[in-house]
Every structure is written in C-alpha cells, then in structure tokens.
Structure 1
Amino acid sequence: MSTPAQSAAPPPATESTSLAATLPPSRSLSPNPFLVMAFLLLISLIGFGGYRASEYQGMQILRTDAGHRLDLFAAAVDGIVNRYAHIPATIQLNEEVLGVMQRTRHPGSIVAANRFLQRLNEHIGSIAIFVVNERGIVIASSNWGDPDNSFVGEDLSFRSYFLDGLAGRSGHHFAIGITRGEPGYFVSHPIRSGNRVVGVAVIKISLGQLDKAWDLLGAPALIADGNGVVILTSVPEWRYTALTPLPLDTRVDIKLSRLYNDGPIGDFPVSVNPDPGPEGQIVHMNLRSSSPGVPAVRGRPDVAGSYLVHGRGLQDVGWRLLIFSDLRPVRAQAFGHGALAAVATGFVLLLLLVVAQRRRIVRQKLEAKELLEQANAQLESKVARRTRALTDTNARLRKEVAERQQAEQTLRAAQDELVQAAKLAVLGQLAAGITHELAQPLGAMRTLSGNAVEFMKRGNLATVEQNLGIIARLADQMGRIITPLKTFARKSPAIPAPADLAHAVGAALFLLDQRLAKAGISVDNRLEAGQHIAWCDQNRLEQVLINLIRNAGDAMAESPLKTLQIDAVQLPDGSLELAIADSGCGLPADGALFEPFFTTKPAGEGLGLGLAISRDIVREFGGDLRAENRPEGGARFILNLPAAPKESP
C-alpha cells in the first residue's frame, strides 16, 4: 500500500538533479594516458641526454687526465732508460778496452779492461757493462768476478743489439738475459779501430725501477716493444703477450735473437690497437682486483668492466706505453647525472601540472560560486513550499507510525492468543491420556484409604501407616503429572532466562508420552541434564518442542520404522543447536514449509500456523528454526538457540 510519505519522496530528488545539472561538470584529476606517456618519454629522453652529456664530459676529462699521466710516466721511463744510453759510446775511448780488441793483446789487458768495466758499472749502477768482439764473444765484462753470473765467454752473436753495433749503428733493444734470465734494456755502440768496427760495447740497464712506478699511474698500464710484445706491465698476466698477432717473419726473428729467452708469446686478452689515437679505444675485459687502479671486490678476484685505452710512443727507445682507464666511475657519475636530470625534469613538469591544476580549480570555484549564487536564489523560493509539504508529510508519517505500532501490538496479542490456543488444543488432545494416568492413582488411593479405616478400627496401626505412606507417594506422582500441565497451560510473557534443554525436552516428551507410545514411536533422547543451557523462555521453548515432536509423529504415521532422535551440540561460536529428526516421509520440495496456512495434513487436521508461530517464537529468543531432509530418509528440524551467558565469578 502506497503512503503519502512515499509519494512525497521523489520531488526533492528531482530538485537535486536539476541543481546538479546547473553546476559545471566536474573535471577529475584522472590523467590522460597519452599525456602521461608523453611526460614519461620526455623525462626518459632528458635523463638519457643528461647521461650522454655527462658521459662525454667525463670521457674528455678522463682523456685529458690520461694524457697527463702518460706524459709524466713517459718522461720517467725516458729518464730511467736513456740516462746511461751514452755510456757505450764512451767505452771505446778507454785504452784498456781498445787493447783487448787488438789481435795481439796482452793477457794483462783483459784484466785491466774487466776492472775498468767493473768500476764504471759500480759508479753508474747498471746491471752489467761488457764488450763483445767482432765474432760476438764477450771478452770483458763488469761481472767478470762472479763465476756464476759472468758474461765473459758468452756468445751473443745472435743478439740484435750486437748485430746493430757490428753494422756500425747504435742498438737499443729489450731482451731477457741468457745467463740469469733477468730482463733488461740493452744499449750497444760500435768500437772502431780506424774505420773498421772491431767490437761492440754494451750496457744492460735494469728496468726494476719501472715496476715500482706503476702505482703512480693509478690505472693498469703496459709497455710494448717495437714488436708489439708486452715487456713491462702492472698486470702480471699480460707480460710477454702480443698486442696484435705477430707475422711469421717477426716470430722467426724473435726465435733467432732469443729476445724473450725462448719463452712462449701469448695473445693479449682483448684486441687492442697499439696506437688508439687521441680519442682512445674502449675495450671490455676482466682484470684481477689486485692490479693497480682496479677497485678490490670482496669474494671476486676478477673484476669485469670497460676501459678506455690511451697510448704514447717512446720515440727514443721505440716502445709504446698504453694505459687502461676504468670507465665505471665515469658511467656511474653519468648515471647519477642522468637520474638527477630526469628527476629535475619530472619535478618541473609536476610543478607545472600543479600550477595548471590549481588555476583550473580556482576557475572552477569561481564558476561554481556564480552558479551556486544563482541556484541559491531559486532554492530560497522553493524552501517555503517544500517546508509546508514536509510538515504535512511528517504529520501523516506520525499518524502512520502510530497506526503501525497499534497494528503490531494487536498482531503480537493475536500471536500470543494463538500460542495459548495451541497450548489448550494440545491439552485437550492430552486429556484422555492424563485422565488414564490420574485414574489409576486415584483408585488406589480410594482402596488404600478404605483399608486404612478398617485397620485403624482393628488397631493395626503399622498397616495404617504403610497405607498412608503409599497414598502420599501416589499424591506426589499425581503432582508430578499435573505440574507440567499447569506450567504448560500458564499464559505468561516470554522472559529469557537460563533453560536446560534436557529439562525442556523431557517435559515435552512427558506430555506426549501416551501419544508417542500409542503410535509405536521409539524415542532416542541423547540429551543429559546440565550439559546444554540455552538463553530463552522455557515455557515457550516447550511449546515449540511439542509442536515439532507432534509433527514428527504425524510424519511417521505410515512409516514402517518409527524412530524419533533428539540431540544437541554446541557450535564454535558458542550457540546451541537442538535437532529433532524423524524417519518419516520427509519435507516437500516447494520450500513453503514456514509460510502461514501451509500444511501437508488432510483438511480439518491443521491450520498451517504451527511452524510459522514456532519460528517466530525462536527468533524472539535471538535464534532461528530451519528444516532439512535426512540423507537416510525423514526430516530434521534444527533449533539454533543462544547459549546462556556465563556467570561472572
């Protein structure tokens, strides 16, 4: 039924809709995906550009720094190697040396030449100074007094520096000594007698000082001779490797001259251009963390990375100096600059977006303010009309609320009357059984009282006392029969209290005992007193149980096996479930079991209100009533009841 309040509700919604239509459309802050992609692309491009610019600048600084370090180290090499390169040219000025070069030399002249070379070597601090005759045999040497390391008598005709000196040229060569296997820089000069070359003067300069100077470069470095073979390096694994593949003729010359003492010449770990040019060459390789200029990494002896190679030629000795500058710091710094550029760009774009959004919000507020002022003028004209309409509507609502409250009270009173009528109907059905139960004790009491009078006349007081005791027990038995009837028939309001489910079930079964026994129904009551205490009105609960047990008995009227099972369990949430199961015909499939006036009994045997009223009673307790079919046949009605609160200590 529609009410005035319901008919008056739509107009305010219509007004709010019209008001919303007058306001400007809301501009949400949801971003445009294409705009977001454009912003991200711009930030990425600027970040990449910052990375490339920083990398380029860092590479230029690295090239300049590497050039300075190469110049300083080249000057150091030149100072170490060429400091005594003029000594062989002055040896031929000594008469003792010229004397041992003559064919008819005196034995004493060899000793004099050895001593001169020894004194000269001790003065300048080289490894050795010696002279070789035109056949390549060492005839005098500064280390003549050391029998294990003396060069005297050695055949050096295969050495390149001897061949250069014999040809009248100054020789400059790196070689490994054949006596002690010690590498050194050999400088040779021809010894002339007139216009004829009669021998060669040679000085062997130590390169040990260069091995101590690698740390000054602060980066891995190497020195390659004219053949492209690494002769000095800060990385031990690189020593005596060829920067580029050696031609066959070069390998043959190396083999014949024994420059590297017949040791194998390996390949350099990576392909390196001996002359990388001013821009340098970038190579990728693994270096041991113990090498100079390579950062140590715990647990990783090899460090992979990219390196910028720069070179410088040592013109006086014909060598090539290469330095390997680590690019990781440059690229790490470039990555930081690129990230900083990207973040700065993002911040600027975000700031611009915030400013633009703020301007948009201010503009929207101004537009909304103007429209709200217009709408306010319209609303003020409608307030009076709506106020009067709402006043009338409220008056009608109060009247309807009062009518509904009166109807609910009438309905509740009718429901209580129906419950009481159902109780009285049950009592009427139980009258015959109760009469039978009371007739037997009454007849016995009548007989025993008459006998007591006779025995009293005879003076047999013991028998009289015995008969009176039996009469008292029969009276108590009749009281136990009548008390549940009085409690069940009493009309009282539902007052929740702790109720023992076993007592309530026992009272219901007692009232229906004759009916169940007459129908041949066996009862399996699994409840024990004191185990399940519910919070409900026990009188109303007994009414529900009687209704459910009667319905179960009616459902088993045609069943060959008639069993009524009653059980209760406590759920994890603390509530109780009381189940009444039968072996009858089961429940209908239409689901209208709890609807008022629905019944499966024949006409005239039921109104169809018992289950609806029972569920309402249980719901008043805060519980519920549901029904289901049993898999083995029959139906099960389940009462869900709240548990009684525990008493505080």
Structure 2
Amino acid sequence: MKRGLRILLGSLAAALLVGGAGWLAYTASLRQGTEVLRRESNHQLELFAAAAEGVIKRQESIPATLQLSPEVLALLREPQSPARIEAAALYLRRLNAHLGSLELFVQNQQGQVLASSEPGLRGEDLSFRPYFLEALAGRVGRHFAIGTRDGRPGYYVSHPIHDGARVVGVAAIKIKLDPINEAWATLGSPALLADSNQVVILSSEPAWRYTSLAELSVDQRVDLQLSRLYAAQPLPRFPLQVDLRVDEDSQVIEGVLPNGLGAAASAPRLASRAMLVMGRTLNGMDWRLMMFSDLRPVRQQASTHGLLASLGLGVVLLSALILLQRRRILRQKLEAHAELEDQVARRTQALSEANAQLAQEVTERQQAEATLRRAQDELVHAGKMAALGQLATGITHELAQPLGAIRTLAGNALEFMRREDLRSVQGNLEILTRLADQMGQIIQPLKGFARKSQARPQRCDVGQALGNALFLHDQRIRQQQVSLERELEPGQAFAFFDPNRLEQVLLNLIGNALDAVQGQEDRVIQVQAMQGGGQVLLLVRDSGPGLGDEALRRLFEPFFTTKEQGVGLGLGLAISRDIAREGGGELEARNHPQGGAEFILHLPADDTPQAAAQA
C-alpha cells in the first residue's frame, strides 16, 4: 500500500515537473518571439513612415511659392479681369502638370476659387474648409479631405498670399495619396493611416476606410459635416477593438488585438486571431500609422518549444527512473557485495554528474559566445541605421539638385525631338548621363554600409573605407566648418579586415572627433596612416579639449560616456574595440602632446603578393 502511494506521488510530481518545464519554455519563447516581431514591425513602420512623409513633404512647400508668381498677384489685384484669370489658370495648369499633384488653386479672401489647374473648380466657394481658414489667419493649413467636385481624397496644404503686409488670398495644393496606397503591400500585414480626427483615411483593408478609431461626439460630427472633410461618409466605428498604449516621448503606439474581438463581417481574416498592433505618429502631420501583425506564428513556435522542453525533461526523468530501478535490482541480487557495488555506483554517479556538468558548461559557454556575437552584430547594425537616419536630410539635399536638372533636361529633350533638333537632344542626353553618374557617386558608399552582415576578414583598402566614413559624415563636417587634414588616400594601405566593420569603427572615431571639436575655436581633425611590422596604424586626432584621467581609464567601458545625458549610450568605443580585437587588431586612446585626443587603430596588414607589390 505504501509503495503504491509512493509511486502515485512520484508520478504526480514528475507530471508537474514536465508540465512546468513546458509552460516555462512556452512563456519564454512567446516573450522572445513577440519582442522580435515588435522590433521587425517597428523597422517596417519606420521605412513606411519615411516614404509616406516623403510623398507629402515633396510638394507641401509649393503653395508658399505661388505668391511669388506675377500672374497670381495680378489676378488677386484684378480678380474680374478675364485676361488675368486665364494667365493665372495657364500658369497653375503648367505647374500642376509638372508636379503631378491633383489640383493647384488660388482663393480670394471670401474663399471663392479665382483660378485653378482644373477648370471645373473655378468659382467654387471653399470657405468652409479648415485649410482656408488657417491660411486666411496667416498660418499654413494642412489636413486630409475628400474633394467636393471629383470625390477624390487628397492632402490639402494652404498658404497665405501677402500683398505687402496684408493677406489678400490663399494658395492651396491637393497632393495625391496614390503612392501611399500602392506601398501597403511592402508591409506584409494589414495597416492603416488615421488623421488628427482619429478617422481612418487610408488602409490596406478597404472595409476600414472612413471608420473612426474612437467614438465621435455630436459636436465633432457636426463640425465634420460643416467642413465636409469626408464628404457624405457615415464614419462608423472601427470594426476591431484595440487596447492601445501611446509613448508620448517617442510617439510609438502599441497594443494587442485579443482573440474574438471585432466584427467578423468587416474583417473575417483578423477577428478570429490575436494580433500585435504597432504604430507611430508621422512627423508634422498628426497622422497615425498602425500595422496589425499576426501573433499565430509566434504562439505556434512557443508551443513547439514548450512541447520539446516537456519531452526532453520526460526523457530525462524516465532515464533516471530506469537507472534507479536497475540499481535496486542489482543491489538485491548482489547483497554479498553490497558495499563494494555501492562504492562503485557512487563513483560512477560522481563521474557522470561531473561529465554532465562539464558538458553543460561547454554548451552554455558556446551559447553565450553565439549570443554575444549576435548582440554585437545587432548593435553594429543599429549604429549604422542611426547614422543613415542622420544622413537622410543631407542625401536628400545632395540629390535634389541633379533630380531637378534631370526633370528640366528631359522636358527640353522632348521639345527638341518635337522640333527634330537631334543634336540638341544628344547634348541633353549626355548631360543626363553625367548627372546619373553624379547621383551614383553620391549613393555608392551607402550600398554596403547599410547591409547587415557577419564579420568576414578579407583584403581591405583602408583609404577607401576612410573615404566612405568621411562621406557619411560630410554633412556634419561642412555644418561645423571643420578643417579635415587627411593623409591617406585609396590604394595606399591595405589591411586584412572586414571592410564593413572597418567602416563602422572609422565612423565612430570620426563622429567622436566631430563631437570633441564642436564649440572649439579651432576645429581640426587629422587622419593619417602608417604601415610596418605586419600592421597598419590609423591615427585619428582632434583639436578638442582632450581626455581626463577618469575618461582615459574608463573610456572603453560599456555605457561610459563623457557626453551630455541623452546623447549616446556609451557603447560606440566599446563595440569598436571589440570589433578591432575580433579582427586581430587593437584600439587605443591617448592625449596628444600638442593638445586634443588621439585614437590609434591597429589593423593586421594584408601580406598577399598583390598588396606587397602595391605597397
């Protein structure tokens, strides 16, 4: 009886252990998988938000330029003149055709359209639109609305037209949103855009459009009807109930769509499963971008991990039970040699435990090394993405001029072809080719830099890597008016190192030098290289205040930084030294005798016959 009770209690304990192990593995895998999905969704949202902002911001400054047009000012001074109306309309039609926008129009102080790129819009009274009221008050008006005449949705931007110090009219543009609708497929998940009224204006799901994320009050509905932003749309509630949390600092929206919520008729694909809702606010537009990512693959993977953990522990417990049973039978058969067998069993058990512990330690160390390597790769890639984000404005500025020239030359070429002036067409095409090459040179250094990859040592041109890093910091160097003294050019020094990692290290060193010389009277950065003894030494020196004793002692510690709070994490130099050591080099820092800080990067030289011949 007692033996049966012990067996029952043991079985229950084993079942609890197996179930507990499976639950712990499921919970850990679910948490990790959700975090990975959250990071991937955030990255996709950042790219999509940047594309959406680019569609709008490319044309939102056009109304501000209309007051510079003599045709528009003449029309506002003589609004009844047919000649003035036709001249202004012709100018607006040509500009609208060049820009590719939906409409360009000019209103008087009463909100009546005096001239438009679309003939049917002239004479309409649009004084009820919020963008007109904002511009009439001397401010820039921006909002989404459905056209009163054509019923097409668009983003309206308005600007006051001044004649001296007085506002005499309003210039407005209607920007098409078709490129945003065409880009939904890049997200790979259902998504939507909601305006400042929390009304869904664009979505990959047609049933979601013109629904309200929040319950609209009677006053809000009356205001929307008066302004006719959404025409005659009834604006029902959004079919899915989402519990959202908004981070006010980062403007990141996050929530979870539980199982069983939502209207299945409106969203049958989504109402029956859990979704991770991620979103963010678009800069300067008060628009919310939200994406619904399916959690089923994450939960299925977590279930698999929980099952494997339970099976693994069950095998271990069963093996232990079999071993105990064998030992009991052997002990009964060999009672005469009980003491000897007991000693042998204890020694065998100790060796087995030591071997298992050693194997576990080896496995844990291998896992820790792999985790560290992955974390380092992620941090390097994150640093690259942060640098690319800072360069977006500069690259846009660099590409804007050749793009404008290409548009003009292409238009001229079409006109020359119409006149059968093939020599002029050939000249324009040659200029277009040079401009395309110029744009290629601008974006060439960014191709390999943004790629996420593992370290692969190879023959590396140190001068070329330095040039790429300096290119990525070119905007800051020009803005801070830094004097750059470079004594290394491509083809002068070669190292056996991963080129992508070398660019990351140089990017960190030059960025720190730019931070050090900021605010100094003399802003100088010197970069020079020396080669010998199987090494390539790269020296980066700045004319900043130098490094204190504590900074020199703790400079390469993770999370130690001399910058102001909120500027940097203190990981750049620590990661850079780890990258250098991983590739067989070293990174050192010191104060230069003539002032400022100096970083010395040791790299293994490339000793191949080709490198020796070039050296």
TM-score, structure 2 normalization: 0.51
Give the deviation of 1:249 after TM superposition. Answer: 2.6
Give the Cα separation in 2 of the matches to 1:334 and 1:241: 35
1:341 and 2:309 correspond: yes
Q: How does 1:602-613 map to 2 (within 5 A)?
A: none
Counterpart of 2:188?
Answer: 218
Q: Which among 165, 174, 178 is matched to residue 148 of structure 2?
A: 178
Say if 1:287 and 1:302, in contact at 8 Å, map to a contact too: no
1:139 is paired with a residue whose SS is strand
Equivalence map 1:279-294=2 (5 Å): 280-284=254-258, 285=261
Task: Give the Cα–Cα distance (whole angstroms) in 1 for the partners of residues 266 and 205 of structure 2.
Answer: 9
Assess if the C-alpha contact under 8 Å between 1:228 and 1:242 holds in 2: yes
**Alignment-derived partner of residue 588 in structure 1:** none
- The answer (yes or no) to whether the contact 2:243–2:255 under 8 Å persists in 1 is yes
Structure 1 residues 220 and 157: CA distance shift in structure 2, 3 A:
same
Retained in 1: the 8 A contact 2:190–2:204?
yes
Q: Contact conserved, 1:50 with 1:341, CA < 8 A, in 2?
A: yes
The one-letter amino acid of 1:218's match is G
Task: Return the alpha-carbon distance in structure 2 between the equivalents of residues 204 and 252 of structure 1.
Answer: 24
Match of 2:205 in 1: 235
| Offset at residue 213 of structure 1 (A) | 0.7
Say yes or no: does 1:315 pair with 2:283: yes
Match of 2:318 among 350, 357, 360: 350
In the aligned structure 2, how far is the partner of 1:104 from the partner of 1:187?
22
Identify the residue that residue 88 of structure 2 maps to in structure 1.
Answer: 113
Higher mean C-alpha displacement, 265-274 vs 123-132: 265-274
The equivalences for 1:508-523 within 5 A come to none
Identify if the C-alpha distance between structure 1 residues 100 and 120 changes in structure 2 by more than 3 Å, giving closer, same or farther: same
Maintained 8 Å contact 2:243/2:256: no
Query: Would the alpha carbon gap of residues 274 and 122 (structure 1) be closer, same or farther in structure 2, given more than 3 Å must change?
Result: farther
Q: How far is 1:109 from its partner?
A: 1.1
Q: Kindly state the Cα deviation for residue 236 of structure 1 after the two structures are TM-superposed.
A: 1.1
- Kept after mapping to 2: 8 A contact 1:312/1:322: yes
Pair 253,329 (structure 1): closer, same or farther in 2 beyond 3 Å: same
Paired residue for 1:360, among 302, 309, 328? 328
Shift of 1:329: 0.7
Instruction: Give CA-to-partner distance per residue, 1:510-529, whole Å, 9 cap, x none.
Output: xxxxxxxxxxxxxxxxxxxx
How far does residue 302 in structure 1 lie from its aligned partner after superposition?
6.8
SS of corresponding position for 1:317: coil
CA distance in structure 2 between the partners assigned to 1:30 and 1:368 by the alignment: 30
Shift of 1:30: 9.9
Match of 2:162 among 192, 217, 240: 192
Q: 8 Å contact 1:274–1:311 — kept in the other structure?
A: no
2 CA distance for matches of 1:275 and 1:186?
29
**Does the C-alpha gap of structure 1 residues 66 and 259 become closer, same or farther in structure 2, counting only changes over 3 Å?**
same
Is contact 2:159-2:171 (8 Å) kept? yes
In the aligned structure 1, how far is the partner of 2:194 from the partner of 2:103?
23
Match among 228, 231, 239 for residue 261 of structure 1? 231
CA distance in 1, matches of 2:246, 2:300: 24
Matched with 2:408 is none
What is the CA-CA distance between 1:363 and the residue it aligns to? 1.2
Cα 1:106/1:279, change in 2 over 3 Å: closer
In structure 1, how many angstroms separate the alpha carbons of the residues matched to 2:319 and 2:246? 47
What amino acid does structure 2 have at the position aligned with 1:71? E
* 1:107 positional shift: 1.8
Is 1:133 matched up with 2:108? Answer: yes
Q: What is the Cα deviation at residue 268 of structure 1? A: 1.0
* Counterpart contact for 2:106–2:169, Cα < 8 Å: yes
Distance (whole Å) between structure 1 residues aligned to residue 175 and residue 263 of structure 2: 30
Q: Which amino acid aligns with 2:256?
A: I
Shift of 1:63: 0.9
SS of equivalent to 1:188: strand
Shift of 1:43: 0.7
The 8 Å contact of residues 240 and 271 in structure 2, kept in 1 or not, is answered as no
What is the SS of the residue equivalent to 1:32? helix
Report the Cα offset of residue 62 of structure 1: 0.9
The separation in 1 between residues aligned to 2:79 and 2:246, in whole angstroms, is 55
User: What secondary structure is seen at the aligned counterpart in 2 of 1:304?
Assistant: coil
User: Partner of 1:164 in structure 2?
Assistant: 134
- Work out whether 1:57 is the aligned partner of 2:58: no
SS at match of 1:280: strand
Q: Where do residues 627-646 of structure 1 align in structure 2 (5 Å cutoff)?
A: none
In 1, distance between residues paired with 2:277 and 2:166?
A: 47
State the secondary structure of the residue aligned to 2:291. strand
Equivalent pair of 1:283/1:306 in contact (CA under 8 Å): yes
Partners of 2:273 and 2:88 in 1: how far apart?
A: 55
What does 1:489-528 correspond to in 2, within 5 Å?
A: none
Counterparts of 1:256 and 1:104 in 2: how far apart (Å)?
27
Once residues 34 and 197 of structure 1 are traced to their aligned partners in structure 2, the CA distance between those partners, rounded to angstroms, is 88
Cα deviation for residue 106 of structure 1 reads 2.9
Aligned to 1:203: 173
Aligned counterparts of 2:99 and 2:332: Cα–Cα separation in 1: 93
Q: Quickly say closer, same or farther: Cα 1:274–1:351, change in 2 above 3 A.
A: closer
Cα deviations by residue, 1:29-80 (Å, 9 ceiling, x for unpaired): 9971111011101111110111100000011101111110110010010011
**Where does the alignment leave 5 or more consecutive residues of structure 1 unmatched?**
1-26, 145-149, 292-299, 371-649
Distance (Å, rounded) in 2 between the aligned partners of 1:360 and 1:104: 109
Per the TM alignment, residue 279 of structure 1 is displaced from its structure 2 partner at its CA by 8.0
Aligned position for 1:76: 51
Q: Percent identity?
A: 49
The alpha-carbon distance between structure 1 residues 219 and 301, as it changes in their structure 2 partners (threshold 3 A), is: closer
Tell me, yes or no, if the aligned pair for 1:223 and 1:230 is still in contact at 8 Å: yes
Of the three residues 118, 121, 135, the one matched with 1:151 is 121
RMSD of equivalent CA atoms: 2.5
2:70 to 76, 95, 107: 95
* 8 A Cα contact 1:287 1:304, kept in partner: no
Q: Using the TM superposition, give the Cα deviation of residue 262 of structure 1 relative to its aligned residue in structure 2, in angstroms.
A: 2.4
Q: 1:279 to 1:256 in 2, by over 3 A?
A: closer
| Equivalent residues of 1:172, 1:188 under 8 A apart | yes
In the alignment, is the contact (CA less than 8 A) between 1:289 and 1:301 conserved in 2?
no
- Whole-Å Cα distance in 2 between the matches of residues 193 and 207 of structure 1? 32
CA offset at residue 270 of structure 1? 2.8
Secondary structure of the residue aligned to 1:349 is helix
CA displacement at 1:365 relative to structure 2: 2.0
Q: Is the 1:276–1:310 Cα contact (8 Å) retained in structure 2?
A: no
Per-residue CA deviation, residues 322-356 of structure 1 (Å, 9 max, x unaligned), is 11111111111111111111111111111111222
Q: Which amino acid aligns with 1:37?
A: L
Alpha-carbon offset, residue 82 of structure 1: 1.3
Q: Distance in 2 between matches of 1:279 and 1:345?
A: 40
Q: 1:274, 1:108 → 2: CA distance?
A: 56
State the AA in 2 paired with 1:255: Q
* TM-score normalised by the chain length of structure 1: 0.49
Structure (1 or 2) with the larger CA radius of gyration: 1
Indicate conservation of the 8 Å contact 2:144/2:153, yes or no.
yes
Contact map agreement 1:275 1:311 (CA 8 A) in 2: no
Residues of 2 paired with 1:104 and 1:314: CA distance? 38
Mapped contact 1:184–1:206 kept (Cα < 8 A):
yes
Number of aligned positions between the proteins: 332
Residue in structure 2 matched with residue 617 of structure 1 by the alignment = none
Per the alignment, residue 306 of structure 1 pairs with 274
